[in-house]
Amino acid sequence: MIEKKQTPKRIVLIWAIIIICDCLTVPCHAWQAQQNDPSAPSSSCKNPLDCIDEDENASDGDLSPEEAKIIDATEKLRGLSAENKFAPIYQTEDELRQYLIEQLKDSDDEDLKNELALYYILGFTPKDFDLRQFYVDMYTEQITGFYDQKTNQMHLIENESSYDNALTLAHEYTHFLQYNNPNFAQTLKHEDDYCINNPENCLVIDALIEGDATLTETLLNPQTILGNRQSSVKKSGNVLYSAPKFFQDTLLFPYKYGFDFVSYHYLKGGFAAVNDLFMKPPESIEQIMHPEKYLSDAPSDVSVDSFRSLIVENGFDIKRETVLNESDIKLILGSGYKEEWQLSERQTEIAAAGWGGGSYIYAEKDGKQLFFSKVLWDNIQDAEEAETIFELYSNKRFREQTADKVWAGENGEVIYLIRQDNILYWMILPENIDRSAVIDMIQENRN
C-alpha cells in the first residue's frame, strides 16, 4: 500500500507526472510488499478538505488506545514529538475515488495531453493511453492514507485489518512529525510553484521523507505493539502492476531508493543522522541513488540555452525544460512500454552510472513533438558506456540506423545520438525543425 499526498498540478514523479499527488507517500512497506503484495501509495492532499466532504462516515476525534500506542511508539523510536493535535480521519475507498475524480477535473485536458505526449515520445506509454482514467483507478487502488501538511490532518482509508491500519498510521504519523518539526521547515517547504520549476529538488525531498517514514514503519513493527497480527491485503495492485512499467518504477522510486538512502545514514548515525539529512538535503537524485555520494558529488548545471533559443526560433512551444537525472536515464533505457525495448537492470545501471548533470527540453509545434537531452558524465569512459547503451536501446526501439547513430522514427522524426568527449546528446527531432542547425550547433560547440 502506498500513500500519497495530494495536490492539483504538481510535478510528482520522475517525469513530472502532473497532478494528483503532491507527493506520494507509500505507507512505508509499499515497496517491500511489492513482491508478495503490491500495495501502493497513499497521498497527502494540499487541500483535501476542499475536496472530500466530511460526512458521517468520516470521523475525527479522540484516538483509540491502539492508535495512541502506535503514535507513542513512533515518537519514541523517531525521537521527535509534535505539539499540534493529531486526529486521523477515516474514509472509505469510494470517498477516495470521488475525491480523485474531483481532483482530476481540475487538471485540464491540455495538461494531460502534454504529459501523455511526453510519455509517448519517450516510449513509456502507447499513444492512446487513457491517463485520466488510469490515475483515478490506480490511486484509488493504491492509496491507503494521506497526510495533509497544510491542515495537519491525516486521512486513512479504512482497512479491515488493524495491523495494516497500524502500519499506515505509523507511516503517516512520521510525516506528521516531519512537517511539525520547525527545524525541517525550510527543507519541506516545497510548494507547487516551486516544484514545477525545481522538480529535481522536490523529487529528492520526496525520497527523503518517504525513506524516513518507510524506515520508521519498518522498525516499529506494529505486531509487537498491538500484540497481534491480522494480515489482510485488501488491495490487489492489479491496476498498477498491469500498467506500463514506467508507472511502477516512478511510483515506487521514493520508497525504494528513499528507504535505501535513509537506511544507509541511519546505520551510520541513527535518527540523529537522519535528522541531519533534513537540515542538509541531498543535491540530486544521483545522491539518493548512491548514498555514499551524499554532499560529495555535486551535480553540474548543464546549459541548454543556445538550443532552447534555436528551438523557439523554429516556432516550437517549450512544454518542459528541467533536469534529466540519473533515474530518468534508467527509465528511458529500461521502462519502455514494449518489453522488447527494455534493457536489463544491469545495462541501465551501467549507462546511468557516472552521471554528472543533465538537462532536457520537450517542445511541440503543430502536433509534432521534440525531445532534446544533454548529459554530462564524470569522465569520457562513463560517457562512452552510456553512448554504447543508448545505441543499443535505439537499435531496439527504432528502425535500422540510417547513418552512424542516426535512426528514423515511425512518424517522420529522426533520432540522433552524439557524443562529444564526456557530453552525450540524445535527441528526437521532428521534420519541422531545422535539424542541421541543431547538429551544427552541437558540432561547433555553440552551447
The contact set with Zn ion (CB under 5 A) reads 25, 210, 213
Q: How many CB atoms lie within 10 A of CB 379?
A: 11
Name which of 3 and 283 has its Cβ closer to Zn ion.
Answer: 3
**CB of residue 61 to Zn ion, shortest distance in Å:** 23
Cell numbers for 196, please give them: 514545477
Name which of 143 and 353 has its Cβ closer to Zn ion.
Answer: 143
Q: How many CB atoms lie within 10 A of CB 63?
A: 15
CB-based burial label for 58 (10 Å; 0-12, 13-18, 19+):
middle
**CB of residue 156 to Zn ion, shortest distance in Å:** 12
Q: Which alpha helices (DSSP H) does 25-85 contain, by range?
A: 48-51, 65-78
The three-point CA angle 320-401-308 to 5° equals 25
Sheet hosting strand 401-403, strand order edge to edge:
317-323, 355-365, 368-377, 423-429, 414-420, 406-408, 401-403
Name which of 152 and 314 has its Cβ closer to Zn ion.
Answer: 152
**CB of residue 295 to Zn ion, shortest distance in Å:** 24
Report the distance separating Cα 360 and Cα 322, nearest Å.
6
Decide: 39 and 237 in contact? Cβ < 8 Å.
yes
Name which of 215 and 438 has its Cβ closer to Zn ion.
Answer: 215
Name which of 17 and 418 has its Cβ closer to Zn ion.
Answer: 17
Name which of 89 and 213 has its Cβ closer to Zn ion.
Answer: 213
**CB of residue 26 to Zn ion, shortest distance in Å:** 6
Report the distance separating Cα 447 and Cα 444, nearest Å.
8
Report the distance separating Cα 122 and Cα 17, nearest Å.
13
**CB of residue 144 to Zn ion, shortest distance in Å:** 10
Name which of 100 and 213 has its Cβ closer to Zn ion.
Answer: 213
Name which of 22 and 210 has its Cβ closer to Zn ion.
Answer: 210
Name which of 218 and 388 has its Cβ closer to Zn ion.
Answer: 218
Q: Which residue has the cell 466532504?
A: 53
Listing DSSP states for 164-218 in one string gives HHHHHHHHHHHHHHHHT-GGGHHHH---HHHHHH-HHHHHHHHHHHHHHHHHHHH
**CB of residue 236 to Zn ion, shortest distance in Å:** 21
Q: Which residue has the cell 503484495?
A: 37
Name which of 24 and 418 has its Cβ closer to Zn ion.
Answer: 24
Among residues 83, 82, 9, the alpha carbon closest in space to that of 47 is found at 9
Please state the φ and ψ torsions of residue 217, each to the nearest 5 degrees: -60, -40
Name which of 29 and 320 has its Cβ closer to Zn ion.
Answer: 29
**CB of residue 2 to Zn ion, shortest distance in Å:** 8
Name which of 154 and 428 has its Cβ closer to Zn ion.
Answer: 154
Report the distance separating Cα 199 and Cα 203, nearest Å.
6
**CB of residue 128 to Zn ion, shortest distance in Å:** 32
Decide: 316 and 433 in contact? Cβ < 8 Å.
yes
Residue of minimal Cβ distance to Zn ion: 25
**CB of residue 42 to Zn ion, shortest distance in Å:** 7
**CB of residue 114 to Zn ion, shortest distance in Å:** 28
**CB of residue 147 to Zn ion, shortest distance in Å:** 7
Among residues 39, 224, 32, the alpha carbon closest in space to that of 145 is found at 39
Decide: 279 and 273 in contact? Cβ < 8 Å.
no
Report the distance separating Cα 358 and Cα 2, nearest Å.
30
**CB of residue 338 to Zn ion, shortest distance in Å:** 32
Cell numbers for 151, please give them: 491542515
